């Protein structure tokens, strides 16, 4: 019970701390921090979205960078043609993400396991090379965005605006996912991960439920891309590269699969670590690799690595260990 | 009476060259408890899988009430009230007992757009869940994760989930497999209390249970039904004694 109360405080404390960052940055006169943490929050948003399929449904999508790219290019291409109305851009971003997610998801979800990983990767790579070869939109060099998304009363014109927009969206998403987790839809979605056959035997359509989750996840990831384009004023194919898909997965693994705030912590830890190590040595990946390996080994669920450090007993871990496997036939 | 009949006509299923289900024909009356017995490997679970639609049949017809479901997918058969329990416990381990049962109870209304209110706060599902937990003696472990239950309780939860989904036709695949004697007695009592409410097809190795519960029994050997009849008829059937009761001493 005690640790559950402690868990409840995690979300408000986290968002209060995040809300303080722009003010701290102002006090220490380091506006770079706002830009940096805006990027962190955008990745956190994408990682949370990916966690809907990866954490809840156990579907390892290795192509979520595609949706970030779709969001980026929705802003980039529309503003290229002089449409900087944020509402139109957002509408196009969401509509395109829905259409692509339904099409891609319908194909990918016919497979599972390694097949699913490979096909999602294949689709995002196809989109990557499509954007590389589309020279009207900058090709490999990307597309500069000269006008940021304008929502009328609110314009994503600077790092600080993007920061607050992302902060608010991330908070809403975290609260929503908290509810989703135990809602009928969320429970059935998680159940498809545990035992899809049984879910089918109750008359739920595993395919439709997984597809809905995939589309939801894709749209939110697309919105993260939308914000990223505004932050960097740039839409470039490297946002669609598979590294980014991989990094999102690593963030979730660091933060803990199945926990709503996990991916947010994962994104913070990953990007801060990267930034610190980069400033320290050019061979930062040599250090980063072992750290991530340690975290992944130390705990495969829900902050077990933190708990291991503080020596807290993990109830989730205990439940897994007691799973009886030797049932009689 | 809300319990439909189940009619199987000439059902065939091959696994490669093996005819796992061989021209099975069977008529289960509305509200009847029909037991299917047979030695290991006789194709009992295969028959259940064919009935639920988890396996496709190669020939033959299946009718639930008046509806021919031979070519229909699992979902549409569930829609007609066909629910099953599994021989190998298939509960959702990381969910609590209550969550498991609520999930089953929710099936008639689906989960479309139900993304906010917790499943276990859903009044309708909860009422069903409470009733079923009482019936299956699971109330005292309602908030326990299914993974932490004792073996017998997991078996009870398995049945409870099928019941919570509001079946009309129940397929129970060895519900007592691996239960202790005391748990077995409790399970027999539970099944007895269900008799008449649903049409039940019971696959079971426990002869005690079968002979005390069944209205009629069919004997399945090498994928073929070799006899169907009342308890006394099956007991006396020479071929049954030879093929099953005689050879295969059962606990």
pLDDT, tens only, A69-89: 999 999 999 999 999 899 999
Q: How confident is the model at residue A314 (pLDDT cuts 50, 70, 90)?
A: very low
Instruction: Print burial letters for B80-100: b (CB count within 10 Å at least 16), e (below 16).
Output: bbbbbbbbebbbbbbbbbbbb
Q: What is the pLDDT of residues A133-143, one digit of tens each?
A: 998 888 888 89
pLDDT along chain B (251 residues), means of 10: 84 90 92 90 90 92 92 91 90 94 89 83 89 92 92 91 92 89 88 90 87 92 90 85 58 40
Phi-psi label, residue A304: left if phi above 0, alpha if psi -120 to 50, beta otherwise: alpha
**A145, A150, A156, A161: CA torsion to nearest 10:** 170
pLDDT score, position A327: 31
In angstroms, the CA A318 to CA A307 distance is 13
CATH class of B1-81+168-251: alpha beta
Of B87, B92, B115, the CB nearest to A194: B92
> Long-range contacts made by residues A205-211, C-beta under 8 angstroms, separation at least 24?
A205/B75, A207/A109, A209/A185, A209/B111, A210/A53, A210/A57, A210/A59, A210/A105, A210/A109, A211/A102, A211/A105, A211/A106, A211/A109
Interface A–B counts its CB contacts (< 8 A) at 113
CB contact under 8 A, B83 and A202: yes
Pairwise CB contact (< 8 Å): A187 & B99: yes
Residue A322 has pLDDT above 80, yes or no: no
Cite the residue boundaries of each domain of chain B with CATH code 3.40.50.300.
Answer: 1-81+168-251
pLDDT in tens, A101-118: 999 999 999 998 899 999
Instruction: Find, in chain A, the residue whose alpha carbon is nearest to that of B99.
Output: A187
Query: Can you tell me whether residue A74 is helix, strand or coil?
Result: helix
How many other C-beta atoms can be found within 10 angstroms of the C-beta atom of residue B190?
17
* Residues A292, B224: Cα–Cα separation, whole Å: 58
Q: Which residue of A has its CA nearest to B125?
A: A184
Q: For A194, which of B75, B87, B93 is closest by C-beta distance?
A: B93
| CA-to-CA dists, residue B100 to A259, B145, B148, angstroms | 20, 9, 13
pLDDT for A224-280, tens place per residue?
Answer: 999 999 999 999 999 999 999 999 999 998 887 767 888 999 999 999 999 999 888
Distance, in angstroms, between A229 CA and closest chain B CA?
Answer: 30
Check residue A10 and give its pLDDT.
Answer: 86
User: Which member of A183, A316, A319 has the closest CB to residue B119?
Assistant: A183
- What is the three-class DSSP state of A81? coil
- Shortest distance between the Cα of A121 and any Cα of chain B, in A, equals 28
Q: What is the average per-residue pLDDT within A149-160?
A: 89
> Which residues in chain A are closer than 8 Å to B116, comparing Cβ atoms?
179-180, 183
Rounded Cα–Cα distance for residues A233 and A145 (Å): 5
Query: Are B95 and A328 in contact (CB < 8 Å)?
Result: no
Q: Is residue A169 a contact partner of residue A176, using CB atoms and an 8 Å limit?
A: no
Closest residue on chain B to A182 (Cα): B118
What is the per-residue pLDDT for A301? 52
Q: How far is B42 from chain A (nearest CA, A)?
A: 14
- Is-contact A273 A291, C-beta < 8 A? yes
The DSSP letter of residue A322 is T
**For B110, nearest residue in chain A (alpha carbons):** A204
- Whole-model pTM over 0.90: no
pLDDT score for A153: 86
């Amino acid at each position: 019970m005690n640790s559950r109360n402690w868990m409840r405080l995690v979300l408000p404390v986290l968002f209060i701390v995040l809300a303080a960052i722009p003010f701290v940055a102002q006090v220490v006169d380091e506006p770079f921090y706002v830009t940096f943490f805006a990027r962190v929050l955008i990745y956190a948003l994408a990682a949370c979205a990916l966690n809907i399929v990866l954490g809840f449904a156990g579907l390892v999508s290795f192509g979520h960078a595609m949706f970030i790219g779709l969001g980026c290019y929705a802003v980039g291409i529309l503003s290229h043609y002089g449409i900087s109305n944020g509402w139109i851009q957002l509408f196009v971003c969401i509509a395109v993400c829905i259409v692509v997610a339904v099409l891609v998801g319908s194909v990918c979800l016919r497979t599972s396991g390694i097949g699913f990983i490979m096909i999602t990767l294949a689709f995002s790579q196809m989109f990557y090379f499509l954007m590389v070869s589309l020279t009207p939109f900058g090709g490999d060099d990307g597309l500069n965005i000269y006008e940021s998304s304008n929502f009328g009363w609110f314009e994503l014109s600077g790092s600080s605006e993007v920061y607050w927009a992302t902060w608010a969206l991330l908070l809403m998403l975290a609260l929503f996912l908290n509810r989703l987790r135990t809602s009928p839809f969320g429970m059935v979605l998680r159940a498809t991960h545990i035992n899809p056959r049984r879910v089918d035997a109750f008359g739920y359509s595993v395919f439709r439920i997984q597809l809905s989750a995939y589309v939801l996840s894709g749209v939110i990831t697309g919105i993260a891309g939308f914000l990223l384009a505004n932050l960097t004023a740039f839409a470039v194919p490297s946002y669609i590269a598979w590294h980014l898909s991989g990094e999102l997965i690593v963030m979730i693994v660091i933060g803990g699969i199945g926990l709503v705030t996990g991916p947010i912590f994962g994104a913070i830890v990953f990007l801060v670590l990267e930034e610190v190590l980069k400033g320290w040595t050019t061979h930062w990946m040599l250090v980063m690799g072992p750290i991530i390996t340690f975290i992944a080994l130390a705990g495969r669920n829900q902050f077990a690595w933190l708990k291991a450090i503080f020596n807290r007993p993990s109830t989730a871990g205990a439940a897994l260990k007691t799973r009886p496997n030797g049932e009689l036939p | 009476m809300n319990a439909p009949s189940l009619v199987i006509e000439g059902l065939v299923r091959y696994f490669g060259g093996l005819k796992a289900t061989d021209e099975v024909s069977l008529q289960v009356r509305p509200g009847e408890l029909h037991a299917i017995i047979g030695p290991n490997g006789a194709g009992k679970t295969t028959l259940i899988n064919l009935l639920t639609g988890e396996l496709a049949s190669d020939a033959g017809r299946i009718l639930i009430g008046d509806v021919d479901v031979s070519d229909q997918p699992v979902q549409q058969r569930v829609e007609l009230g066909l629910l099953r329990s599994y021989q190998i416990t298939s509960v959702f381990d990381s969910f609590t007992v209550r969550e498991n049962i609520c999930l089953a109870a929710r099936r008639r209304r689906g989960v479309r757009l139900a993304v906010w209110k917790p499943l276990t706060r859903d009044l309708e599902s909860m009422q069903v869940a409470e009733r079923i937990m009482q019936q299956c003696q699971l109330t005292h472990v309602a908030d326990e994760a299914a993974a932490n239950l004792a073996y017998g309780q997991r078996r009870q939860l398995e049945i409870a989930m099928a019941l919570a989904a509001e079946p009309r036709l129940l397929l129970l695949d060895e519900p007592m497999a691996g239960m202790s004697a005391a748990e077995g007695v409790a399970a027999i009592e539970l099944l007895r209390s269900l008799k008449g409410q649903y049409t039940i097809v019971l696959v079971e190795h426990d002869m005690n249970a079968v002979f005390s519960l069944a209205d009629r029994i069919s004997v399945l050997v090498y994928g073929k039904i070799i006899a169907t009849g009342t308890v006394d008829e099956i007991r006396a059937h020479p071929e049954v004694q030879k093929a099953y009761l005689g050879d295969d001493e059962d606990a």
